[in-house]
Structure 1
Amino acid sequence: MNDPILRLSGISKAYNPGKPNEVHVLRGIDLEVAAGEVVALVAPSGAGKSTLLHIAGLLDTADSGTVEIAGDDFTGQSDRKRTGVRRADVGFIYQFHHLLPEFTALENIVLPQLANGVARSAAEARGRELLAEVGISERADHRPAAMSGGEQQRVAFCRALANEPRLLLADEPTGNLDPTTSDQVFGALMTLVRSTGLAAVIATHNLELAARMDRQIRLEAGQLVPV
């Protein structure tokens, strides 16, 4: 196996610590994901999968444990360093696309590249390349309101991969789509992931989609168990 892009060690998280309504969401989570590996994180709503993804992507902090991305330990690092690695090395996809409504599909993909210092011409070329990979080149100049839900989510996939991250974290990326569209859009996502060779953790409650990934893990009672 390739060296891990993501390594979580002893990750624990509780809400309302020390209070009567304290809830232990994560209890000593250990996880490694290698470059080129797609891992399905299976869990029902409320089990803590979003919390785990947010900690893995440095959007939240654990009560204990370490988070390493591409061999660097970001535990206790400054917000500036955490923001820098999120921008350069981590891509996020959510159940809802969160596209900027006033910008076109292409512009939504170009903007994060500009924020990362990429020249506009190169950013636009990268955006058009990604849109072609997911089969919606003709939607480049359309705003989100003029696109279907499946098309909007494909644009969100392209935006997440625009800066060529080494780690992709996706939280129910097709959960807001009907079954047929979900299957088509998930296929587009897997095409993008496979073509880049990044490490990916994709949370889903859809067991059929989970079975199409390299490995499945389940979050139960705050701990990971193999499926």
Structure 2
Amino acid sequence: MSEPTLTLSGITKTYNQGTPGEVRVLQGVDLTVNAGEVVALVAPSGAGKSTLLQIAGLLDTPDAGAVQMLGQDMTGKGDRTRTNVRRNDVGFIYQFHHLLPEFSALENITLPQLANGVSESVAVTRAMDLLGKVGVGDRAHHRPAALSGGEQQRVAFCRAMANEPRLLLADEPTGNLDPGTSDQVFGALMDLVSGTGLSALIATHNMELAARMDRVVRLEAGALVAASEEETTDG
């Protein structure tokens, strides 16, 4: 069996540490995401899911605990090592698309590849392939302002996949969309992930979407708890 893509062990995070107003956001979180597994992270607002995703994606560091990425212990690693791992192995998707407004959909997906040393022809071919897979290939040369919300988020998915990451982290990726569009866009995301061997940790409030993933974990009061039967069963 291949090694887990992501392992979080005893992750603790406190803000305003040592002050009367300190807030313990995460309390000894343990989580493993295996290769090819899509895990739903459900949590009430303010429970710490965004903080957990930032720590998992090496954008933040825990006060205690360890983060292993593809078998490599990232605890105490320097900024250069963490940046290289993020650039090569991790893709991020947020609730808002954060596309570069002055560039087309195609350019938003090719630019990360060019920055990673990929030739322009290869980058353009991959970008067009990704856009085609999520059904917006005909919108490749439109800037974000000319795209609908659902189209913008599909392009953001493609950008996150541009450098063929091993781990995808998504924070409420359809939370800014109406229910019908959310369902369609989430389906596009699952189509992108399917068959790639990519691992994903996707935070969502939408329990119908969560039930379509391989496994559901719930974050409450800073700790992971067992998901209910309703959360782990579609329908």
TM-score by length of 1: 0.99
Please give the secondary structure, in 2, of the residue aligned with 1:30: strand
Give the deviation of 1:51 after TM superposition: 0.1
Give the deviation of 1:82 after TM superposition: 0.4
In the alignment, is the contact (CA less than 8 A) between 2:168 and 2:198 conserved in 1? yes
Per-residue CA shift, 1:101-139, capped at 9, x if unaligned? 000000000011111111111000000000010011000
In the alignment, is the contact (CA less than 8 A) between 2:92 and 2:169 conserved in 1? yes
CA–CA separation in structure 2 for the residues paired with 1:138 and 1:73: 42
1:12-31 equivalence runs, <5 A: 12-31=12-31
Give the deviation of 1:197 after TM superposition: 1.7
Give the deviation of 1:186 after TM superposition: 0.2
Tell me what 1:115 maps to: 115
Residue 54 in structure 1 maps to residue 54 in structure 2: yes
Give the deviation of 1:195 after TM superposition: 3.2
CA–CA separation in structure 1 for the residues paired with 2:151 and 2:135: 9
Alignment gaps of 5+ in structure 1:
none
Per-residue CA shift, 1:58-108, capped at 9, x if unaligned? 000000111111111111111011000000000000000000000000000
CA–CA separation in structure 2 for the residues paired with 1:98 and 1:198: 22
Per-residue CA shift, 1:158-178, capped at 9, x if unaligned? 000000000000000000000
CA–CA separation in structure 2 for the residues paired with 1:127 and 1:75: 34
CA–CA separation in structure 1 for the residues paired with 2:55 and 2:97: 20
Aligned-partner residue type, residue 66 of structure 2: T
In the TM superposition, structure 1's runs of 4+ consecutive aligned residues that sit over 6 Å from their partners are none
Tell me what 1:134 maps to: 134
CA RMSD of the aligned region, Å?
Answer: 0.7
CA–CA separation in structure 2 for the residues paired with 1:195 and 1:149: 26
Give the deviation of 1:2 after TM superposition: 3.9
Aligned-partner residue type, residue 170 of structure 2: A
